[in-house]
Amino acid sequence: QVQLKESGPGLVQPSETLSLTCTVSGFSLTSYSVSWVRQPSGKGPEWMGRMWYDGDTAYNSALKSRLSISRDTSKNQVFLKMNSLQTDDTGTYYCTRDPAAYYFDYWGQGVMVTVSS
Amino acid sequence: IQLTQSPSLLSASVGDRVTLSCKGSQNINNYLAWYQQKLGEAPKLLIYNTNSLQTGIPSRFSGSGSGTDYTLTISSLQPEDVATYFCYQYNNGWTFGGGTKLELK
């Protein structure tokens, strides 16, 4: 069955870089796109960026200067790196399966990231 | 496109017909989905393309709308429907609404 699982540090220092990994199973990264979506506590989710099935990427314009998404298809993994973190980057980060850049049909369990010194 | 959901909090009784609204700042062209998020869980896709029910979702959930105005309806509220509901558009960029929290009266 389709599964996605995020991993990474739960605490990041302000101005540091966040690195997260999404490990997928049950589908191929060369057939489906994967998006990263984050959600501050008590607020609506925010689409961050996408790794297209063909290896191309797309980013939320508000985050583009700080964000990088890459992948390793041999390991079924998609990576997120975001630099210059601030306290308002605190929240839960999800990776999602993203068929055809429309809606997100499967989500990982999420990883809570706190930006604090 | 910005999405405004109303109400932000809705209290209803088991068996009630419940209607949640989502209004876009521009035409969404029916590229609208609804997600259900229970406490501590990831969002779950309920409806896509305005009115298509995702596999495995109970038929008491339905969606409708056009243009800038969209609605999620629960025909007979069940206790397990207590959650926050988000609308999401993918017509122009990808944005979520702020959510409607549904609780039992």
Strand segments, DSSP code E, in chain A are 3-7, 11-12, 18-25, 33-39, 46-51, 57-59, 67-72, 77-82, 91-98, 106-107, 111-115
What would the pLDDT profile of A21-77 be if each residue is shown by its tens digit? Answer: 999 999 999 999 999 999 999 899 999 999 999 999 999 999 999 999 999 999 999
Nearest to A109 among B42, B45, B94 (CB): B42
What is d(CA B34, CA B51) in angstroms, rounded to the nearest whole number? 9
Judge: B42–A43 Cβ closer than 8 Å, yes or no: no
* Measured CA angle at B33 (ends B68, B85), to 5 deg: 100
Of A67, A32, A65, A66, nearest in space to A51 by CA:
A32
Q: How far is A117 from chain B (nearest CA, A)?
A: 25
What would the pLDDT profile of B32-89 be if each residue is shown by its tens digit? Answer: 999 999 999 999 999 999 999 999 999 999 999 999 999 999 999 999 999 999 999 9
Residues of A whose CB is below 8 A from B93: 47
Residues of B whose CB is below 8 A from A109: 42
Mean pLDDT computed over A83-107: 93
- The neighbour count for residue A114, using CB atoms within 10 Å, is 12
Judge: B96–A103 Cβ closer than 8 Å, yes or no: no
